[in-house]
């Protein structure tokens, strides 16, 4: 199962991010996942890892990626 290919932090972000319909910004991911066990500073690495595994897709909207 693809879920098992992720780190614990990646699985947690995947689960918590599932509340969003149609996508989310990095700030949204931070709001649902960042806590004392996963600092905000680590969030970009986790999101990038999920993009690299094709579990998330990067989308450009205007000046934002």
Cα 35 to Cα 21: distance, rounded to the nearest angstrom: 22
User: DSSP string covering 27-38, please?
Assistant: HHHHHHH-BTTB
Query: What pLDDT was estimated at residue 52?
Result: 92
**What is the pTM for the complete model shown?**
0.74
Q: What are phi and psi of 59, to 5 degrees?
A: -130, 140
Tally DSSP H helices, then E strands, for the chain: 3, 0
What pLDDT digit, counting tens, does each position of 5-41 carry? 888 888 888 888 888 888 888 888 788 777 777 778 8
Residue 26 structure tokens? 């990095």
The CB-side HSE value for 11 (13 A sphere, CA atoms) comes to 8
The domain locations on the chain are: 2-52
């Amino acid at each position: 199962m693809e879920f098992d290919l992720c780190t614990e932090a990646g699985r947690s972000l995947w689960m918590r991010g599932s509340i969003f319909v149609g996508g989310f910004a990095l700030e949204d991911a931070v709001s649902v996942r960042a806590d004392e066990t996963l600092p905000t500073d680590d969030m970009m690495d986790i999101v990038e890892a999920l993009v690299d595994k094709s579990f998330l897709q990067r989308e450009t909207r205007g000046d934002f990626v």
